[in-house]
Amino acid sequence: MRLISKTRDYYDCIQAMGYDDYPVYVREMQKVPTPDYWKKDRNFTEHVGHIQVVTEHRLPTTDGLCTPGQVAFCGRFYPFYEFRGKHYYNFDKLKAAVAAATVDRDYFDWDKAKRLLAVMNDEKVRSGWRGSRWWGTPSLSRKSWNWAMENRSWTVPLETHRYFRAPIIATSPEKGIAVVVNPVLRMYKFEQVKDPYTAWQEISMFMGNELATQMDPNPEITDEMRAESKGFDKWSFRRHSTESKKPRKKRKQ
């Protein structure tokens, strides 16, 4: 895979090991706003809404202490919680971070962190899923996390990737921004999920199989075509057949 991008990500170092000219991944980050599109574009509503609904309704609640989100990476959702500026894809690592916050008296949400930690430590807490929503606040426990990972579908429809023409889409905590297309994954600490080599390989395979329509912005062109694009032709530096072939005399100074 050949990568064309103005930004740098954690898996770009794999290019030093060599790469193929095909497929071509034009990684251009785009922040997609929400306000003006919900009622104008039905496809936009369907694909962006699907990502946001999955985030809000399929992850257990934390009483507003942690911000849920997810990365749609090559056909699969990878959910995470953002807590105190860091991203956590693992229940035990998030639990350790919440536990550290409970002993930090300077943390402004100390009481919420303490209540959440009590639920996370209780192994007898039920899954918390009732009907079409999570029951209880907070509802994030080991059982509810495992239940969500095992019983909910985390498959991204291929139509969503094809609609945005990107192998990677992520939710955004920024106000007024629905999703980020082709985000910088190191900002989401995605190396916790995929090492650089695996991430590069999966993107390359996904681009070649599912998004093969992405065009090369720098196609190879002949010298003749390049000259014509600059305003020259085959006679620009030659004499026409009708002109005299005798060398011109130099003017006397």
User: Which DSSP string do the residues of the chain spell out, in sequence order?
Assistant: -EEEESS--TTGGGGGG---S-SEEEE--EEEESTTTTTT-HHHHHHHHHHHHHHHHHS---TTSSEEEEEEETTEEEEEEEETTEEE-SHHHHHHHHHHHHT-TT-TTHHHHHHHHHHHH-TT----EETTEE-SSS---HHHHHHHHHHS--BPPHHHHHHHT-SEEEE--STTEEEEES--GGGGTGGGTS-HHHHHHHHHHHHHHT-TTPPPSS----HHHHHHHTT--TTTTS--TTS--SPPPPPP-
Task: Kindly report, residue by residue over 110-149, the tens digit of the pLDDT.
Answer: 888 999 999 898 876 665 666 566 666 788 888 888 888 8
- Is the per-residue pLDDT at 58 higher than 80? no
Answer whether residue 202 is part of any domain: yes
Band of residue 175 on the pLDDT scale cut at 50, 70, 90: confident
pLDDT score for 169: 94
- Structure tokens belonging to residue 164: 């945005």
Band of residue 105 on the pLDDT scale cut at 50, 70, 90: confident
Residue pair 105/209 in contact (Cβ under 8 Å)? The answer is no
Answer whether residue 182 is part of any domain: yes
Answer whether residue 108 is part of any domain: no
Largest alpha-carbon pair distance within the chain?
A: 105
Answer whether residue 27 is part of any domain: yes
Answer whether residue 104 is part of any domain: no
Once rounded to an integer, what is the mean pLDDT over residues 9-28? 89
pLDDT score for 122: 83
Answer whether residue 133 is part of any domain: no
pLDDT score for 62: 87
Answer whether residue 224 is part of any domain: no
**Is residue 136 left, alpha or beta, with left meaning phi > 0 and alpha meaning psi from -120 to 50?**
left
- Structure tokens belonging to residue 250: 């130099």
pLDDT score for 211: 84
* Full domain range(s) for residue 25: 2-89+142-209
Once rounded to an integer, what is the mean pLDDT over residues 169-196? 91
Answer whether residue 184 is part of any domain: yes
* Phi and psi torsions of 208, nearest 5°: -75, -30
pLDDT score for 81: 94
Domain count across the chain: 1
Band of residue 109 on the pLDDT scale cut at 50, 70, 90: confident
- Is the per-residue pLDDT at 172 higher than 80? yes
User: Of 45-54, 129-138, 159-168, which has the strongest mean pLDDT?
Assistant: 159-168
